[in-house]
Amino acid sequence: MQVTVLNGVNLNMLGHRDPEQYGDMTLLQLETRIYEWAQELNMSARCSQTNHEGAYVDMIHEACSGTDALVVNPGAWSHYSYAIRDALEIFTGPIVEVHLSDIERREQWRRQTVISDVVSHRISGRGAEGYRDAFTYLAENAP
Ligand code: DQA
């Protein structure tokens, strides 16, 4: 199974952001772990990150051909980007939404995401392990 992992705005700053919420791994360290976890499950991963909403939408469109499943952490866009929500709706495979922090126990504005109705599953508050959980979910649930 080919899985595309799309990290969004500000996630390139992991390692510099609040470690209590986001842990102390850098994005490079996180992506390295993701490639290892994917391999352990006999899956293939491709990771990308951008701070530009339109580029993120383009990445989702590109994933519509040749990718079996998506793992997405759009960062703050998760809470308000209908453009990203609509792009995800076009993707026909399973989508797992991941948040490093427990968004349901943080500020009110983080508790809702506008992508929740177009994803298959959400994992939040598990730190980097949440990405491993996403791959495990896909291995167990994807057709
Ligand atoms: C985040 C949670 C968002 O609320 C926040 O804006 C982020 C990261 C997370 O991974 O916990 O940038 O998606």
Query: Does the annotation mark 52 as catalytic?
Result: no
Reply yes or no on whether the pLDDT at 143 is more than 80. no
Which residues lie below 8 Å from residue 126, measured CB to CB, with a gap of 6+? Answer: 100, 133
Closest CA to 5 of 141, 143, 130, 111: 130
Reply yes or no on whether the pLDDT at 142 is more than 80. no
- Residue 46: helix, strand or coil by DSSP? strand
Average pLDDT, rounded, for the chain? 97
Reply yes or no on whether the pLDDT at 48 is more than 80. yes
Give the integer Cα–Cα distance in Å for 22 and 63. 26
Q: For the domain that residue 98 is a member of, what is the CATH number?
A: 3.40.50.9100
Full domain range(s) for residue 99: 2-141
How many domains are contained in the chain?
A: 1
pLDDT at 47: 98
pLDDT at 11: 98
The predicted-structure confidence for 50-71, as pLDDT tens digits, reads as follows 999 999 999 999 999 999 999 9
Q: Is 81 in the pocket of ligand 1 (CB under 6 A)?
A: no
Task: For ligand 1, pick from 6, 7, 14, 22 the residue to mutate: most ligand atoms within 8 Å of CB.
Answer: 22
If residue 90 lies in a helix (H) or strand (E), which one and from where to where? helix 82-90
Other Cβ atoms less than 10 A from the Cβ of 111: the count is 11
Distance 102 CA to ligand 1 centre (A): 9
Q: Is 101 in the pocket of ligand 1 (CB under 6 A)?
A: yes
Q: What is the pTM of this model?
A: 0.97
Reply yes or no on whether the pLDDT at 81 is more than 90. yes
Q: Is 78 in the pocket of ligand 1 (CB under 6 A)?
A: yes
Count Cβ atoms within 10 A of the Cβ of residue 116 and give its class: 0-12 exposed, 13-18 middle, 19 or more buried.
exposed
**Closest ligand 1 atom to the C-alpha of 21?**
11
Q: How confident is the model at residue 127 (pLDDT cuts 50, 70, 90)?
A: very high
